[in-house]
Amino acid sequence: MLRKILAHTFLALALIVLAAGQAMAAPATAPAAVPNSPAKVDARVTAVDVQAEGTDSIGARLSTALKEKFNTSSLFRLSSGNEPKLLLLVSTTPEFPTRPQVGSAYSVIWVYSQTESYLPMLLGREVGTVSMEDIDGLVARIVERTDGLSVKYNYLWKK
């Protein structure tokens, strides 16, 4: 009886080793290379226009950083023409008027504009304070929220 068990165990191990050897000998096919360059897909690109007002330097840096981020993104393109677009109305003021370099109070309003002759439609808003060190994080959050709004209201851009 013990001989039968050992023979079956030996046979099972031999089959496992044989199968593993065949799997290792089979040539591995490499997956197709994926290009490392983001391409703009026209069906997904949203026209965006950043309109800023304010006199403080932190607010000016915020609006410039937003425009730069939208301009380099594959999901957006800057537009100031008379076309359907997502408007970002950015308003800033010094948090402390006597110390404008400390921080800035900001307001961002997202509106959809069909054309200049139509009344824009409010999509979202945000208010807060930002310092010079926090601008990059705020810009990333605003761009992410803009993308979320463009996906949520994508039926507005359909013709």
Task: Please state at what angle helix 135-152 crosses helix 57-72, rounded to 10 degrees.
Answer: 50
Considering Cα of 37, then 41, then 44, then 48, what sign does the dihedral take? positive
Beta bridge partners of 108: 90, 126
Q: Is residue 98 part of a domain?
A: yes
Domain that holds residue 132: 46-156
Longest dimension (CA), the chain: 96
Which of 44, 54, 43, 64 is CA-nearest to residue 104? Answer: 54
CATH code (residue 64):
3.40.50.10610
Q: In whole angstroms, what is the distance from residue 111 CA to residue 85 CA?
A: 9
Q: In whole angstroms, what is the distance from residue 72 CA to residue 68 CA?
A: 6
Question: What tens digit of pLDDT does each residue of 122-148 get?
Answer: 999 999 999 999 999 999 999 999 999
Q: Is residue 108 part of a domain?
A: yes
Task: Return the pLDDT at 117.
Answer: 83
Q: Is residue 102 part of a domain?
A: yes
Task: Return the pLDDT at 91.
Answer: 95
Q: Alpha-carbon Rg of the chain, whole angstroms?
A: 29
Q: Is residue 60 part of a domain?
A: yes
Q: Is residue 24 part of a domain?
A: no
Number of domains in the chain: 1
Task: Return the pLDDT at 26.
Answer: 47
Which of 153, 152, 144 is CA-nearest to residue 66? Answer: 144
Q: Is residue 15 part of a domain?
A: no
Q: Which helix (H) or strand (E) holds 59?
A: helix 57-72
Task: Return the pLDDT at 115.
Answer: 84
Q: Is residue 12 part of a domain?
A: no
Q: Is residue 130 part of a domain?
A: yes
pTM: 0.70
